[in-house]
Amino acid sequence: MPIIESALDARDAHTDFTLPAGEPWLHDLKRGETLRIVDLEGNQAVDTLFYSSADPTERYSAQDTIRAQRNLYLSAGSVLMSNLGAPLLTIVADTCGRHDTLGGACAAESNTVRYALEKRHMHSCRDSYLNALAHCTCGVGALLGKRDIVSNINFFMNVPVTPLGKLTFEDGISAPGKYVEMRAEQDVTVLISNCPQLNNPCNGYNPTPVRLLVWGA
């Protein structure tokens, strides 16, 4: 779990935005730009997908990413790979130390399985994703739909796997102010859901805002 701090100054960022819990963010990153996600209050899962802006059928692939680095967890140095085996982004700084590739996003339907049938109405990451895409009338987002929502990254989420193959959801190892920073290796479109899940410890049972900063190439 290498801890690498960033040399970038927030005052130089051209975008500086606070995303409340339960809301999505769809944003184009140019090649060479750097995105930082700051866990403002700690233990906040940030469900994130990436698409190649040139051809969004090329997208982040959890299996290609973990296979390329021969490791389940993301940290500084991890290269986020596409389903076509190309690097989309590289994590260049990280003060949290470990991010999840397996837990995926919550959805109304999977919430009925995981918690109770009557939890279907609760807000979820997939609903945020679909909402963002439904309201996007131009650009890459307009080309995307449920078909393109694949297994995502959960930044700041701690989902250890045991050698016996058991998957556990543990209290977060993140804390207020921890951040992860990644550089785009090609033009990419970012789709974030700041997770509204209230039924498990991934958000400490209290979903909170995150800060998003972008620096130019």
Partner 1 sequence: MPSSFSSANAQPDLPPELPPVDVLWETVIPAGTHWSGILRRGLALRVIDLEGGANLAAVFHRQEDPLERYNMADTLKAQHTAHLTRGHALYTDMGRVIASITADTLGWHDPLGGVGDAALFARKYGEKRYQAHRNAMIRNGRDSLVLELAKYGLGARDLVANVNFFSKVAVGGDGALEFVPRHSRAGAAFDLRFEMNTLAAFSTAPHPLDPHGEYAPKPVKLVAWRAYSAEGRASADDLCRTACAENERGFINTDRLFA
Write out the residues near partner 1 by the rule CB under 8 A: 57, 61-64, 66-67, 70-73, 83-85, 98, 102-105, 107-114, 116-117, 126, 146-152, 159-169
Smallest distance from partner 1 to CB 40, Å: 25
Smallest distance from partner 1 to CB 42, Å: 22
Smallest distance from partner 1 to CB 88, Å: 16
Smallest distance from partner 1 to CB 213, Å: 27
Of the candidates 38, 89, 33, the one whose C-alpha atom is nearest the C-alpha of residue 61 is 89
Smallest distance from partner 1 to CB 14, Å: 32
- Shorter beta-carbon distance to partner 1: residue 40 or 150: 150
Strand order in the sheet with 153-155: 24-29, 188-194, 46-52, 153-155
- Shorter beta-carbon distance to partner 1: residue 43 or 154: 154
**Cα(28)–Cα(187) distance, integer angstroms:** 7
Termini Cα distance of the chain = 27
- Shorter beta-carbon distance to partner 1: residue 8 or 122: 122
3-state secondary structure of 188: strand
- Shorter beta-carbon distance to partner 1: residue 11 or 166: 166
- Shorter beta-carbon distance to partner 1: residue 40 or 143: 143
What distances in angstroms separate CA 94 from CA 83, 101, 114, one per listed residue?
Answer: 24, 16, 30
Of the candidates 34, 49, 28, 12, the one whose C-alpha atom is nearest the C-alpha of residue 185 is 34
Smallest distance from partner 1 to CB 124, Å: 11
- Shorter beta-carbon distance to partner 1: residue 8 or 86: 86
Residue carrying the six token digits 């960033």: 6
Number of neighbours of residue 92 by Cβ within 10 angstroms:
19
Amino acid identity at 172: G
Of the candidates 202, 156, 198, the one whose C-alpha atom is nearest the C-alpha of residue 37 is 156
